[in-house]
Amino acid sequence: MSAPTPAGRHPDWIRVRVPGGEGYARTRAIVKESGVATVCEEARCPNVAECWAHGTATFMLMGDTCTRNCAFCAVDHGRPDALDPLEPYRLAQAVRKLGLQHVVVTSVDRDDLADLGAGHFAATVRAIRHAVAECEVEVLTPDFQGRRDCVETVAAAPIAVYNHNLETVPRLYKRARAGAKYDRSLDVIRFARAFRSDLLTKAGLMLGLGEEIAEVLAVLRDLRSAGCDIITLGQYLRPTAKHLPVERYLDPSEFVDLGATARELGFRHVESGPLVRSSYHAWSHVPR
């Protein structure tokens, strides 16, 4: 691998185009009309221009306020509002209007709810499939506090991909993911895989938070042992000055090398690059 690039100003390879164009405008209008939040906006995703121009979006359920306060995440934290029982229907209609063949549905953490939001996930998936029967649904869930029943509630819905991000290496969990536990996140993948053998499982990591490459490789091996099929690897980008700093920017060649290693470990699909996020090119992760 090439020499590390120190943190500071974004290197030349961290460049995204300014949002615009007919496809972007159409997606933005439908999203706004639906009244449903997207992680594209809430998490300040660098790929919003590309994805929205492509006519896809990652929808965020259960409001825009999270019960946790991860040090890398731009989503607001605090006391969320009550669930909107019409949200599954409104999101399904947005998917129908966008003409999506693959949609990613995620959420804030809702540790305040009795089922931690699992039932709302399942209801939304069913609403989408009712509105657009041919649409593949990928869920990106919280850890549900390690509750197997919650994972199984979501996995029992007609989904194609169960995604849960580990985000970083175990050593950095206390610093980056307050309230989360590494083994508990691995269990989410294990539970989903055990419940439905036909289900594709997926996870993602952010790099540049201070992890060592050997630690990343260990996480990849743990994920394969847990039954994870798909992995996304991307560069952490600091949302604001209040969030964790970037410890270093990985050279694109390092992402190429890590991607090759992940394929050697047996992952069915790998997305590895500086601007990769968990839903990046998600429509291409499911074999057709």
Highest mean pLDDT among 133-137, 144-148, 278-282: 144-148
Work out the average pLDDT over 180-206: 97
CA–CA distance, 249 with 259 (Å, rounded to integer): 16
Is residue 106 within 8 A of residue 61, CB to CB? The reply is yes
pLDDT in tens, 87-101: 999 999 988 988 888
- Binned at pLDDT 50, 70 and 90, residue 75 comes out as confident
pLDDT of residue 73: 85
pLDDT in tens, 232-278: 999 999 888 899 999 999 999 999 999 999 999 999 999 999 989 88
Is residue 128 within 8 A of residue 36, CB to CB? The reply is no
DSSP 169: -
pLDDT in tens, 205-243: 999 999 999 999 999 999 999 999 999 999 999 888 899
Evaluate if residue 8 carries a pLDDT over 70. Answer: no
Domains of the chain (ranges, CATH numbers): 19-284 (3.20.20.70)
Evaluate if residue 164 carries a pLDDT over 80. Answer: yes
As a whole-number percent, the residues of the chain with pLDDT over 90 amount to 64
Q: What is the mean pLDDT of the chain?
A: 87
- Binned at pLDDT 50, 70 and 90, residue 39 comes out as low
pLDDT of residue 97: 86
pLDDT of residue 28: 67
CA–CA distance, 264 with 229 (Å, rounded to integer): 12
